[in-house]
Amino acid sequence: MQLQSSDAIILDVVDLHDYDRIVTFLTRTHGKKRGVARGARRKYSRFAGQLQPLAKVHVTWLEKEQSELVRVSSVELERSPSGLHNDLEGILLGSYLADHMLEFAQENEANDHLFRLLDSTLDALLADVDRALAARYYEAWVLRIAGVFPAPRECPGCGRGLEKREVGLAERGEGLVCRDCGGGSWRPLAPETVEFLLRIGNENLMRLQRRSPKAVTLDEVESVCAQVRRSFLQRELKSYRVIRETLAGIQE
Ligand SMILES: [Zn+2]
For residue 156, the CA-to-ligand 1 centroid distance in Å is: 6
| Domain assignments of the chain as residue spans, ordered by start | 2-80, 83-251
In sequence order, what are the beta bridge partners of 77? 57
pLDDT value, residue 64: 84
> Exposed, middle or buried by CB within 10 Å (0-12, 13-18, 19+), for 68?
exposed
| DSSP bridge partners of 4 | 61
CA atoms within 13 A on the CB side of 235: 5
- Which of 87, 107, 89 is closest to 11 using CA atoms? 107
Task: State in Å: Cα 222 to ligand 1 middle.
Answer: 23
Give 224 Cα–ligand 1 centroid separation in angstroms. 18
CATH placement of domain 2-80: 2.40.50.140
Residues whose beta carbons lie less than 5 angstroms from ion ligand 1: 155, 157-158, 178, 181
- What lies within 8 Å, CB to CB, of 48 at 6+ separation is 40
Amino acid symbol at 238: K
Q: What is the rounded distance in angstroms from the CA atom of residue 59 to the CA atom of residue 51?
A: 11
Task: Give the Å distance between the CA of 145 and the centre of ligand 1.
Answer: 22
pLDDT at 252: 66
**CATH classification number, 83-251, choose in 2.40.50.140, 3.10.20.30, 1.20.1440.120, 1.10.230.10:** 1.20.1440.120
Low-confidence ranges of the chain (pLDDT < 50): none
User: 195 CA distance to ligand 1 centroid (A)?
Assistant: 18
Please tell me the total number of residues recorded for the chain in this structure: 252
Instruction: Give the per-residue pLDDT at 172.
Output: 85
pTM of the model: 0.94
Amino acid 109: pLDDT: 92
Distance 97 CA to ligand 1 centre (A): 32
